[in-house]
Amino acid sequence: PFESKDARPWTGPSLSILLRDLRHIQNSKERSAKLFEWLIAPVAPKKFFSDIWEKTPALIRRHNSNYYKGFFSSEDFDRILREDHVNFGVNLDVTSYFDGEKETHTPTGRALPVVVWDFYKNGCSLRLMNPQAFSGTVWNILSILQESFGSMVGANIYLTPPGNQGFAPHYDDIEAFVIQLEGKKCWRVYDPRSNEEVLPGIPSRNFTQQEMGTPIMDTVLEAGDMLYFPRGFIHQANCLPEMYSLHITLSTYQRNTWGDLLHKLFPGALDLAIEDDVEFREGLPLDYLDYMGVQNSEREDDPRRESFNKKVYNLMRKLLKYAPIDAAVDQKAKDFIHDCLPPVLTKEELACTVYSAPARWRDGGPRNVVLQIRGSTRIRMLRSNIARLCGENGSILLYYTIENSRDYHKEEEKCIEIDPELADGVELLLCSYPQYIKVDSLPAGSLDDKISLAAALYEKGLLMTEYPLLPKRD
């Protein structure tokens, strides 16, 4: 495991200043990179992704309890309970772990502070799920980070009273960034127990203390510190007797592996091959059941087996040339777009979108309804990852994130169908990001067509203009 050694405090910009600065970065990818850099500083992202990511746990110690200030506080937790409709079971879990036994105490209904704090005082751990639905800052941070990962970034918040542990040892199926916000917590991390459990695709059951070996990391995380560990690394954490703990765990890369891509790739590849190459449509040998199958697997000397296997290998090899890799990536991309949080727009961005369009009801009727999109208007997508063009059953669909909910998948996936003649125009817009391009430079037929494409995407909230649009006088 990696551990940052520096004993001096690490100071960086405060989160509020950082977020303010990020607003001036035009490219959402770049913005995301800067935020991630801050998140793991002083480790360099390049180093992180080459030496640590998916490989080994990393402890970044900062001796600076204010480093993550403003991210999320126990006061935020309290306020959310009072002001929002937090539901037990759906948004908040109550658990305890004593003598090697994890228990869940979550009741039903709305989680009101007086009830929640009573559990806490009685030694229960609280887990706030989906904090991005309640905290604008968490939402903003996650929605920025998802641009870097090409995979959903989620979060859970854990508040544990002094002397307690909320969960049994286990490993997860996601890359975890544990960000200590307040208090301290003692963490023990263990190697995956076998090769099969390296980078696993499903989370583990709860383990007993006997099932793990020696921890490869045993440390106390303090406010301002961060601990990363890849999926498969077993971990457990408990509070010291005298100090509570508040941390947020960011998670990403769930089901985002080569294997997941291949699962999307194969059925399509095989269908293409069958359609195109008659060899796949030829009948199996009349007698193959006589020498193939598990009951015949010991007939190693039967030359028909070898020839059958060769034929299969040969066809599998042929399949390579039918692999519709881009189409499989589109299926992953479409899932990603649906998983995404909707973007948090900056004031500057907002001013140039449909959300700030001047149309208003005034004096008995709507005014400023017609917008001045012209050939010379310069436009760009609102974010690098705000939308994705996918081919599906002969249609071209533009999937987008802007109408997603802050609650995971509470809205169905959203898309609009794109006229094939306009697909090049959309593609140009997607690829040009973050550059602005002029409406009349879109490859989309007549000027009217270009304007109407731009207007459609603008009205869906997918693109911004370089300057706020002026209304036509009406």
Contacts with a second copy in 354-413 (CB under 8 A)? 354-355, 357, 359-361, 364-366, 369-371, 384-385, 388-391, 403
Footprint of a second copy on residues 265-324 (CB under 8 A)? 265-267, 270, 273-276, 278-284, 286-290, 292-298, 308-309, 311-313, 315-317, 319-320, 323
Q: Least Å distance between CB 6 and a second copy? A: 27
Looking at 7-15, 57-65, 74-82, 446-454, which segment touches a second copy (CB under 8 A)?
74-82
133, 178, 181, 199: which one binds a second copy (CB under 8 A): 199
- Nearest Cα residue to 371 out of 387, 354, 385, 383: 354
Q: Least Å distance between CB 219 and a second copy? A: 22
Using the minimum distance from each CB to a second copy, give the nearer residue, 168 or 243. Answer: 243
In angstroms, the CA 453 to CA 381 distance is 13
Under rule CB under 8 A, residue 244 binds a second copy: yes
Q: Least Å distance between CB 125 and a second copy? A: 14
For residue 22, report the phi and psi dihedrals to the nearest 5 degrees: -60, -30
Footprint of a second copy on residues 109-128 (CB under 8 A)? 109-110, 112-115, 117-118, 120-121
- Nearest Cα residue to 382 out of 329, 450, 457, 469: 457
- Nearest Cα residue to 175 out of 157, 152, 205: 152
Under rule CB under 8 A, residue 82 binds a second copy: yes
Which residues, listed in sequence order, are joined to residue 250 by a DSSP beta bridge? 155, 177
Query: Where does residue 68 rank: exposed (0-12), middle (13-18), buried (19+ CB within 10 A)?
Result: buried
x/- letters, 408..447, toward a second copy (CB under 8 A): ------x-x----------x--xx----------------
Neighbouring residues of 155: CB distance < 8 A, sequence distance ≥ 6: 130, 131, 132, 138, 142, 248, 249, 250, 251
Using the minimum distance from each CB to a second copy, give the nearer residue, 47 or 281. Answer: 281
Using the minimum distance from each CB to a second copy, give the nearer residue, 112 or 447. Answer: 112
Using the minimum distance from each CB to a second copy, give the nearer residue, 150 or 215. Answer: 150
Interface with a second copy: number of residues (CB under 8 A): 115
Using the minimum distance from each CB to a second copy, give the nearer residue, 101 or 474. Answer: 474
x/- letters, 1..40, toward a second copy (CB under 8 A): ----------------------------------------
In angstroms, the CA 247 to CA 234 distance is 18
The three-point CA angle 192-221-132 to 5° equals 85
Footprint of a second copy on residues 127-156 (CB under 8 A)? 148-151
Which residues, listed in sequence order, are joined to residue 392 by a DSSP beta bridge? 395
Under rule CB under 8 A, residue 71 binds a second copy: no
First to last CA, the chain: 66
The three-point CA angle 156-67-186 to 5° equals 55
21, 54, 103, 218: which one binds a second copy (CB under 8 A): 54
Please report, to the nearest 10 degrees, the dihedral formed by the alpha carbons of residues 23, 29, 35, 36 taken in order: 180
The answer to whether 192 and 29 have CB atoms below 8 angstroms apart is no
